[in-house]
């Protein structure tokens, strides 16, 4: 069977009701009560990690309050990191909130701002003034990963809901549902390991897990399922290379560890750090104090790379640090 890959599965299987939102029970319970108030609903901020249902929940609320053509006319969806700068706030958002309603002046409008924590502070001040002036008939729903990047005057005008990482069983359950719906030929003997790897790759991000599943289908990797290939296309080390690196670390063989790092064609330092952080607690020749120091050093490495440092040099420095902490 040929799968339809033209439509992103994150959109095809996006929740349409509150009950379909995965594992955010506390937030959803309260939001159900808020939407019953209609125009009296407060502005909202959804904060939490990527892929936990913030955007889906905002769209469910908008569809619950506005139907059909009214939704199309009265909902403005924006990715704030791409578009929301001062001119955009003054022209597009302000015009949208101020324009006369085609049917009734009291009809509700909703502005959905994704990645609102990427809006510059000065622009947030302008946005705050719009929120203040239009709050009776326009409701703002802001999504962010880091609420500390949203200015206090906006936070104080909103009800804040925190979204949490999804547990493995919930992500696996959703992936199995999609696999069944798409009739994917996943070998039964490898299915459990496959879904475990998808969860690890996702890091609790359901959107990323679904995208990785669709990518595996698009690249025709399911028939003769190779877990290592799934890891490689996702920017992680395959099991053999990772095991060789771990062995070099445990043996205190810096030359071998450096050689392995240099042999990696396209290194993704953040993914490698994640893989190593899972393995470290299993090392028996590193004491707890040294383990904490290594984890702190990994944080320093991640920061340096984010600031433009050479990835391989930093990972090699980590190899040296780990070996220096090994018990003789």
Please give the biggest Cα pair distance in the chain: 78
Domain map (residue ranges) of the chain: 24-162, 168-233, 239-325
Q: What are phi and psi of 234, to 5 degrees?
A: -95, 5
> What integer pLDDT is reported at residue 4 of this predicted model?
62
Domain covering 24-162 assigned CATH 1.10.10.10 in the classification: no
Does residue 320 have a pLDDT over 90?
Answer: yes
Sequence-ordered list of residues with C-beta below 8 angstroms from that of 65, at least 6 positions apart, any chain: 35, 38, 41, 108, 110
Tokens 């946005």, located at residue: 127
- Give DSSP secondary structure letters for 58-98: HHHHHHHHS-HHHHHHHEEEEEHHHH-SHHHIIIIIHHHHH
> What integer pLDDT is reported at residue 7 of this predicted model?
85
Token duo for residue 89:
């706030």
What DSSP character marks residue 204? T
| Chain segment 157-214, per-residue pLDDT in tens | 999 999 988 889 999 999 999 999 999 988 888 899 999 999 999 988 999 999 999 9
* Alpha-carbon dihedral sign for residues 227, 202, 56, 110: negative
The whole-number average pLDDT for the span 110-135 is 87
Measured CA to CA in angstroms, residue 18 lies from 14, 30, 31, 77, 178 at distances of 11, 11, 9, 19, 19
24-162 and 239-325 share one fold: no
Measured CA to CA in angstroms, residue 280 lies from 63, 65, 226, 288, 325 at distances of 46, 49, 25, 11, 12
> What integer pLDDT is reported at residue 83 of this predicted model?
62
Residue 150: pLDDT band (50, 70, 90) is very high
> What integer pLDDT is reported at residue 267 of this predicted model?
80
> What integer pLDDT is reported at residue 58 of this predicted model?
94
- Return d(Cα 236, Cα 258) in angstroms, integer: 17
Work out the burial of residue 292: count CB atoms within 10 Å of its CB; fewer than 13 is exposed, 13-18 middle, 19 or more buried: exposed
- Return d(Cα 206, Cα 174) in angstroms, integer: 8
Does residue 102 have a pLDDT over 50?
Answer: no
| Chain segment 256-288, per-residue pLDDT in tens | 999 999 998 888 888 999 898 888 777 888 888
Query: Do 126 and 86 meet the contact criterion of CB atoms below 8 Å apart?
Result: yes
- What CATH fold (topology level) applies to the domain 239-325? Zinc Finger, Delta Prime; domain 3 (1.20.272)
What DSSP character marks residue 322? H
The whole-number average pLDDT for the span 80-100 is 72
Between 81 and 171, residue with greater pLDDT: 171
Does residue 101 have a pLDDT over 60?
Answer: no
> What integer pLDDT is reported at residue 9 of this predicted model?
93
The whole-number average pLDDT for the span 216-220 is 88
Residue 1: pLDDT band (50, 70, 90) is very low
> What integer pLDDT is reported at residue 328 of this predicted model?
56
Does residue 20 have a pLDDT over 90?
Answer: no
Find which of 67-76, 242-251, 265-274 is predicted with most confidence, using mean pLDDT. 242-251
Rounded-to-10 torsion of CA 143, 146, 149, 153: 60
| Chain segment 21-54, per-residue pLDDT in tens | 888 888 888 888 888 877 788 899 999 999 899 9
In this prediction, what percent of the chain has a pLDDT beyond 70?
A: 94
CATH classification for the domain delimited by 168-233, as one of 1.10.8, 1.20.120, 2.160.10, 1.10.1760? 1.10.8
Beta bridge partners of 140: 111
pTM: 0.82
> What integer pLDDT is reported at residue 224 of this predicted model?
80
């Amino acid at each position: 069977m040929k799968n339809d890959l033209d439509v992103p599965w994150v959109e095809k299987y996006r929740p349409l009701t509150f009950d379909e939102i995965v594992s955010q029970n506390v937030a959803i319970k309260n939001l159900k009560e808020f939407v019953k108030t209609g125009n009296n609903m407060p502005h909202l901020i959804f904060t939490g990690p990527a892929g936990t249902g913030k955007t889906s929940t905002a769209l469910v609320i908008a569809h619950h309050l506005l139907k059909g053509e009214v939704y199309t006319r009265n909902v403005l969806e924006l990715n704030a990191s791409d578009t929301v700068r001062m001119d955009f706030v003054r022209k597009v958002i302000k015009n949208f909130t101020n324009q006369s309603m085609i049917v009734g002046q009291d009809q509700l409008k909703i502005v959905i701002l994704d990645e609102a924590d990427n809006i510059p502070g000065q622009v947030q001040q302008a946005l705050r003034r719009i929120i203040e002036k239009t709050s009776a008939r326009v409701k703002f729903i802001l999504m962010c990963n880091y609420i500390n990047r949203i200015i206090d005057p906006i936070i104080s005008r909103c009800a804040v809901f925190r979204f949490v990482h999804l547990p493995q069983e919930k992500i696996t359950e959703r992936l199995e549902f999609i696999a069944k719906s798409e009739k994917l030929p996943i070998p039964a003997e490898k299915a459990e390991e496959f879904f475990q790897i998808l969860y690890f790759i996702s890091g609790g991000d359901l959107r990323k897990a679904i995208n990785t599943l669709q990518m595996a289908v698009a690249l025709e990797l399911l028939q003769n399922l190779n877990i290592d290939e799934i890891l490689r296309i996702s920017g992680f080390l395959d099991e053999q290379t990772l095991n060789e690196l771990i062995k070099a670390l445990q043996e205190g063989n810096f030359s071998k560890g450096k050689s392995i790092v240099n042999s990696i064609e396209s290194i993704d330092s953040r993914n490698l750090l994640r893989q190593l952080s899972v393995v470290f607690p299993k090392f028996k020749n590193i004491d707890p104090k040294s383990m904490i120091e290594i984890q702190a050093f990994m944080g320093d490495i991640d920061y340096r790379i984010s600031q433009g440092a050479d990835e391989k040099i930093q990972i090699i420095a980590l190899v040296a640090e780990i070996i220096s902490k090994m018990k003789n």
